[in-house]
Chains A and B, each alone.
Chain A
Amino acid sequence: MAAFTMPDEAVRWIEATIARYPDRQAAMLPVLWAVQREKGWISPDAMVWVGDRLGCSASAVQAVVRFYTMFDEAPVGRWKLQVCRTLSCELMGARAIVDRIREQLGIEPGETTPDGEFTLQEVECLASCGTAPMLQCNFKFYENLTPERIDALLEELRARTPDPDDVEPVIYERPDAEAYHAMFPRAIEPAAGAREGEVA
Chain B
Amino acid sequence: MQRGLDRPGESHVLEAYEAAGGYRAIRKALGMSPEAIIEEVKKSGLRGRGGAGFPTGTKWSFIPRDSDKPRYLLCNSDESEPGTFKDRWLLENDPHLVLEGMMVAAVAIGSHLMFNYFRGEFTYPLARWRAAVEEAYRKGYLGKGIFGSDYDLELVTHYGAGAYIAGEETGMLESLEGKKAFPRNKPPFPAVEGLFRSPTLINNTETLATVPWIVENGADSYVQYGTEKSRGTKLWSCSGPIGRPGVYELEMGYDLMEFLEGDLGGMMEGVELKGIIPGGSSVPVLTPEECRGAKLDYEGLRERGSLVGSGGFIVIGDNMSAVDCLLNLAHFYAHESCGQCTPCREGCGWIEQLVQKILDGRGTQADLETILRVSDLMAGKTICALADAMAWPAVAFIKKYPQEFAALCAEPVDMNELTAAVGRHDHILPRAS
User: Which residues of the partner chain B approach A25 to less than 8 Å between Cβ atoms?
Assistant: 177-179
User: Which residues of the partner chain B approach A132 to less than 8 Å between Cβ atoms?
Assistant: 239
Asked whether any CB of chain B lies closer than 8 Å to the CB of A70, the reply is yes
User: Which residues of the partner chain B approach A129 to less than 8 Å between Cβ atoms?
Assistant: 82-85, 237, 239, 245, 312, 314
A140's contact among B123, B158, B331, by CB below 8 Å, is which? B123
Count of A residues near B, CB < 8 Å? 65
A63-B180, A129-B83 known; A85-B415 Cβ under 8 A: no
Asked whether any CB of chain B lies closer than 8 Å to the CB of A99, the reply is no
Asked whether any CB of chain B lies closer than 8 Å to the CB of A194, the reply is yes
Asked whether any CB of chain A lies closer than 8 Å to the CB of B268, the reply is yes
Q: Is the CB of A29 within 8 A of B178?
A: yes
Asked whether any CB of chain A lies closer than 8 Å to the CB of B121, the reply is yes
A-B contact count (CB 8 A): 204
Residues A54-104 near B (CB distance < 8 A): 54, 56, 60, 63-64, 67-71, 85-88, 90-92
A188-B318, A191-B408, A200-B412 known; A64-B178 Cβ under 8 A: yes
A129-B312, A130-B247, A186-B320 known; A180-B241 Cβ under 8 A: yes
Q: Is the CB of A29 within 8 A of B160?
A: yes
A198, B411: Cα distance in complex, Å = 8
Asked whether any CB of chain A lies closer than 8 Å to the CB of B104, the reply is no
Say how far B218's CB is from chain A's closest CB, in angstroms. 33
B124's contact among A125, A141, A181, A184, by CB below 8 Å, is which? A141
A87-B281, A193-B361 known; A26-B161 Cβ under 8 A: no
Name the residue in A22, A27, A91, A177 with the highest tally of chain B Cβ atoms < 10 Å from its Cβ. A91
A69-B162, A188-B321, A197-B407 known; A127-B240 Cβ under 8 A: no
Q: Is the CB of A28 within 8 A of B178?
A: yes
Asked whether any CB of chain B lies closer than 8 Å to the CB of A49, the reply is no
Q: Is the CB of B160 within 8 A of A125?
A: no
Q: Is the CB of A136 within 8 A of B121?
A: yes
User: Which residues of the partner chain A approach B124 to less than 8 Å between Cβ atoms?
Assistant: 140-141, 167-169
A64-B180, A129-B245 known; A90-B269 Cβ under 8 A: no
A27, B41: Cα distance in complex, Å = 33
User: Which residues of the partner chain A approach B164 to less than 8 Å between Cβ atoms?
Assistant: 124
A183, B29: Cα distance in complex, Å = 52
User: Which residues of the partner chain B approach A29 to less than 8 Å between Cβ atoms?
Assistant: 120, 158-161, 175, 178
Which of B224-232, B255-263, B322-330 contacts its partner?
B322-330
Q: Is the CB of B406 within 8 A of A131?
A: no
Asked whether any CB of chain B lies closer than 8 Å to the CB of A196, the reply is yes
User: Which label, helix, strand, loop or mixed, suits the secondary structure of the A interface?
Assistant: loop
Q: Is the CB of B85 within 8 A of A68?
A: no
Q: Is the CB of B320 within 8 A of A90?
A: yes
Asked whether any CB of chain B lies closer than 8 Å to the CB of A14, the reply is no
A67, B161: Cα distance in complex, Å = 9
Please name the residue on chain A nearest to B181 by beta carbon.
A67
User: Which residues of the partner chain B approach A190 to less than 8 Å between Cβ atoms?
Assistant: 361, 407-408
A90's contact among B119, B156, B328, by CB below 8 Å, is which? B328
Say how far A47's CB is from chain B's closest CB, in angstroms. 13
User: Which residues of the partner chain A approach B249 to less than 8 Å between Cβ atoms?
Assistant: none
- Give per-residue flags for B267-284: 1 if the beta carbon is below 8 A from chain A beta carbons, else 0: 011100000010001000
A71-B161, A130-B237 known; A91-B317 Cβ under 8 A: yes
Asked whether any CB of chain B lies closer than 8 Å to the CB of A159, the reply is no
Q: Is the CB of A195 within 8 A of B410?
A: yes
Residues B49-91 near A (CB distance < 8 A): 70, 79-85, 87-88
User: Which residues of the partner chain B approach A192 to less than 8 Å between Cβ atoms?
Assistant: 361
Please name the residue on chain A nearest to B121 by beta carbon.
A126
Asked whether any CB of chain B lies closer than 8 Å to the CB of A44, the reply is no
A97, B181: Cα distance in complex, Å = 31
Please name the residue on chain B nearest to A65 by beta carbon.
B161
User: Which residues of the partner chain A approach B163 to less than 8 Å between Cβ atoms?
Assistant: 67-69
A70-B161, A177-B269, A191-B359 known; A21-B82 Cβ under 8 A: no
User: Which residues of the partner chain A approach B83 to less than 8 Å between Cβ atoms?
Assistant: 87-88, 125, 129
Q: Is the CB of B412 within 8 A of A198?
A: yes
User: Which residues of the partner chain A approach B120 to less than 8 Å between Cβ atoms?
Assistant: 29, 33, 68, 70
Say how far A48's CB is from chain B's closest CB, in angstroms. 16
Q: Is the CB of A124 within 8 A of B82?
A: yes
Q: Is the CB of A167 within 8 A of B123?
A: yes
Q: Is the CB of B241 within 8 A of A130?
A: no
Please name the residue on chain A nearest to B92 by beta carbon.
A169
A70-B162, A197-B406, A197-B412 known; A180-B175 Cβ under 8 A: no
A-B contact pairs, 13 of them (CB 8 A): A22-B113, A29-B160, A67-B338, A85-B328, A87-B277, A87-B281, A92-B240, A92-B241, A124-B82, A125-B83, A125-B332, A130-B245, A197-B403
The 10 A-B residue pairs whose C-beta atoms are closest, nearest first, are A194-B361, A28-B178, A129-B239, A68-B161, A197-B406, A69-B162, A70-B162, A25-B178, A130-B245, A198-B412
Given contacts A29-B178, A71-B161, A197-B407, 14 further A-B contacts (CB under 8 A): A21-B156, A60-B179, A63-B180, A68-B162, A69-B162, A86-B82, A87-B277, A90-B324, A127-B79, A129-B237, A130-B237, A169-B124, A198-B413, A200-B415
